[in-house]
Amino acid sequence: MNYHNRKFRPISNSENGKVSVDMVFHYLQYGNVLTCTYHGQHILKGQLIGWVDKDGKIDMRYQQVNRQGEMMTGVCQSSPEITVDGKIRLHEKWRWTSGDLSNGNSVLEEI
């Protein structure tokens, strides 16, 4: 699985997540190393870095600054699914490593 230059939008998220439907995640991949930048309604700037395994699963770390000026960090494991129309859908399990340390789930879909 190669995520290079693919863009994703959230289609669902846990209530304690900060991802909004207006966000676009732009992925770049070099070998097994994945990077991404994003921003949106609640997030001024976000970045992630991750490792893609042979099955396309991503183990990532993210950091972001929200509109209140707070720095936030977290970890996420993402598993790909190929939809009937050939797009990639990412099923994510994430956990904040700052703030309230809560966890949740989200789904992103390729646009």
Query: Looking at residue 51, what is its pLDDT?
Result: 98
- Of 73, 57, 17, 61, which is closest to residue 40 (Cα–Cα)? 17
pLDDT at 16: 62
Class of domain 7-110 as given by CATH: mainly beta
Residues in the chain with pLDDT < 70?
A: 16-20
- Give residue 18's pLDDT: 62
pTM, 2 dp? 0.89
Burial level of 74, CB count in 10 A (0-12/13-18/19+)?
buried
Q: What would the two tokens of residue 14 be?
A: 């846990």
